Structure 1
Amino acid sequence: MAPRNKEQEAEVLSWIFEVLGEKVPSGQYEDILKDGIVLCKLINKIAPGSVKKIQERGTNFQLMENVQRFQAAIKKYGVPEEEIFQTADLFERRNIPQVTLCLYCLGRITQKHPEYTGPGLGPKMADKNERTFTEEQLRAHEGELNLQMGFNKGASQSGHGGFGNSRHM
């Protein structure tokens, strides 16, 4: 399990509350996110209508459903399955760094959605850089003899006696 990075956690929290247009509440990172209410509000702000029902209070099981709804919504939004944390990672504090990683991924994925105009999180995603070559350009290298293709300019291993043997001169 990766060590926790308090700076990244603070960056994630400030991004979440900047998107929500609210002040960052005081408290522990995992406690603020644990019940899933903030997460559901976040994905609804990024992609309106993603989570239909947010359980504001109730049993632990009902609050865990918020986290599960958030996970389903971000998966639909484009966050890859392998980046999404398990509910227990957050709810039972098993793997908080995975929660942070997941939220960073969500912040990056927002860049691929032109309808999202809020702040971004993490590094800018690379733009597609497609190149086209003419047939002539593609064939230009064919006259060259690549040194990786076995041409060794006359050198050979003849007389080499294998590992550990000294060279007889």
Structure 2
Amino acid sequence: MGDYRAGKAGINAEAQARIHSKYNNDIAHETLEWIKVITGEPANTAGDADNLYEVLKDGTLLCKLVNALQEGSVKKVNQSTMAFKCMENINAFLEAVKKLGVPAQETFQTIDLWEKQNLYSVVVCLQSLGRKAGNFGKPSIGPKEADKNVREFTEEQLKAGQNVISLQYGTNKGQQSGISFGNKRQM
């Protein structure tokens, strides 16, 4: 879909080049392999940006993925290849992954995938979803998420902590006279 637009120039081209430089073929390949384990698709799991775009651009595989993790996450998957129907699929996927626990900062915007603007953020979102897959009894990818480490303190422990002066507040020991900031006033 990005074929109809003029190329970016100047600072925008530099920014786009920086975004594209973050994309990693190996991580994209690992992500597509994981999707294939969960859904049985796609046949081609090459990690290059063009293949990732072709596999995911209509959003049907993304919807199939979240429905495989949790049945009924996306109620209606559009099979049409019309632009707005495909973008609806991508948006439905994004809403579903937020409900499955993917943080909002690790998702992407529909346009990032549809117009191939930021495939790196698409892979980040899928990797984050892959970490959550273990919660649904499916194989997961990437590093294991940390578990909560909730600590309970007694009232006595909390009161004892109030008497400690942190070193961030400085110290009142030593000579403080003669300390001045900046230049001295010239007369």
TM-score tier by shorter-chain length is 0.7 to 0.9
Give the TM-score normalised by structure 2. 0.71
Residue deviations 1:68-110 (CA, integer Å, cap 9, x gap): 2212222232323333212221111011111111112222233
The offset of 1:57, in angstroms, is 3.9
Determine the structure 1 residue equivalent to 2:138.
118
Give the TM-score normalised by structure 1. 0.78
Determine the structure 2 residue equivalent to 1:19.
38
Between Structure 1 and Structure 2, the one with more helix by share is 2
Task: Tell me, yes or no, if structure 1 residue 39 matches structure 2 residue 58.
Answer: no
Determine the structure 1 residue equivalent to 2:149.
129
Determine the structure 2 residue equivalent to 1:108.
131
| Alpha-carbon distance change, 151 to 120 in structure 1, aligned in 2, over 3 angstroms | same
| Counterparts of 2:27 and 2:128, CA distance in 1 | 12
| Identity fraction in percent | 42
Determine the structure 2 residue equivalent to 1:90.
113
The offset of 1:146, in angstroms, is 5.0
Q: Structure 2 unaligned segments of length 5 or more: list them.
A: 1-17
Farther off after superposition, 46-55 or 15-24: 15-24
Highest CA radius of gyration, 1 or 2?
1
- Aligned partners of 2:31 and 2:126 also within 8 Å: yes
- Aligned partners of 1:40 and 1:67 also within 8 Å: yes
Aligned partner letter, 2:143: P
Number of residues paired by the alignment? 161
| Counterparts of 1:14 and 1:53, CA distance in 2 | 25
